Homo-oligomer: A and B are copies of this chain.
Amino acid sequence: MVVYAGQGDAHRSLALLWGAAPEPRTGRSGPKPGLSVDAIVSAGIAVADDEGMAALSMRAVGERLGRTAMALYTYVPGKAELLDLMHDRALAGLPAAPPPSDDWRAAVTAWAGALYDRYLRHPWMLQVSQARPVLGPAELTAMEALLGALGPAGLAPGPLRGAVSALWQFVRGTAAATAESRAAAAETGVTDEDWWTARSARLAELAPDFPSRFPLLTALQSGADGPPQDREQETFRTGLAVLLDGVAAAAPAAGDAPVPATRPGRAAGTGEGADTP
């Protein structure tokens, strides 16, 4: 529920995100730290995973570590920063960019699938306000991986930025939709499908003129065939395909695009020597 305290100094997060100097422990008095930023971030993720974003309070995180809420403030400036850290950490460890290959479509598809899965494993991430590019190392690594996968397509910098943004947002958005329908279903103890039909039934009841007011939506919806999971997967798959077609079309000399390239001029180099760290 709570997601982001607007003015939380992004600067304070930055230092922590990038592994605030581990401080040579020599020459420091006082009791040894019993906690660590890492442990706190892990506990926070555990709380959010287990009990949902609404249950993520400083008290809850502290409790999970056998401490009070205030103990956390020794390590972390506040809740907003903790959220930043959690979000970035939850993105860590995604597969690195594969070596550049002709089949950039497969590479980008794999990247998108991994990110999608990650979001669904930590649905609370989707409730962290995205009005906030935190620029943590894991997020940037994921973006670098996308750039690496996308590289062989040979986009110019402008379209490349656009494509990266479009891809990321698409994955996040579709993951959010899936997560929401799962959550709603789990909450009401009902299967996805039942929930959807109940929902549309209620809608039809409240807006009897629905089909005439929204003919295209009605047509689109009635075109659905399988259970909602399948529909979500299909949306993900086909939406991604549309995006990739766009990338292929925007690329000057794309490999497997069905579109004949008319402009041979290769624009400013987008580092094709992606050796992927």
Residues of A within 8 A of B (CB): 1-7, 10-11, 14-15, 18, 52-54, 123, 126-127, 129-133, 135, 137, 140-141, 143-144, 147-148, 151, 156-163, 165-166, 168-170, 172-174, 176-177, 179-180, 183-184, 187, 199, 202-203, 206-207, 213-217, 219-220, 223-224, 231, 234-252, 257-271, 274, 277
Nearest B residue to A247, CB-CB: B242
Q: Which of these, B187, B217, B260, B269, contacts A140 with CB under 8 Å? A: B217
What 6 pairs between A and B have smallest CB-CB spacing? A162-B239, A246-B246, A169-B173, A245-B249, A162-B238, A263-B267
B144 touches A217 (CB 8 A): yes
A159 → chain B, closest Cβ, in Å? 4
A243 touches B166 (CB 8 A): yes
Copies of this protein chain in the complex: 2
A92 → chain B, closest Cβ, in Å? 14
List, in ascending order, chain B residues with CB within 8 A of A159's CB: 238-239, 241-242, 268-270
Nearest B residue to A16, CB-CB: B206
Distance A220 CA – B163 CA, assembled complex (angstroms): 12
A186 → chain B, closest Cβ, in Å? 11
Q: Which of A123, A158, A170, A217 has the most CB of B within 10 A?
A: A158
List, in ascending order, chain B residues with CB within 8 A of A130's CB: 126, 173, 176
Distance A156 CA – B266 CA, assembled complex (angstroms): 14
Distance A191 CA – B77 CA, assembled complex (angstroms): 26
A58 → chain B, closest Cβ, in Å? 15
A23 → chain B, closest Cβ, in Å? 15
List, in ascending order, chain B residues with CB within 8 A of A265's CB: 259-260, 262
List, in ascending order, chain B residues with CB within 8 A of A251's CB: 267
Q: Which of A179, A206, A252 has the most CB of B within 10 A?
A: A206
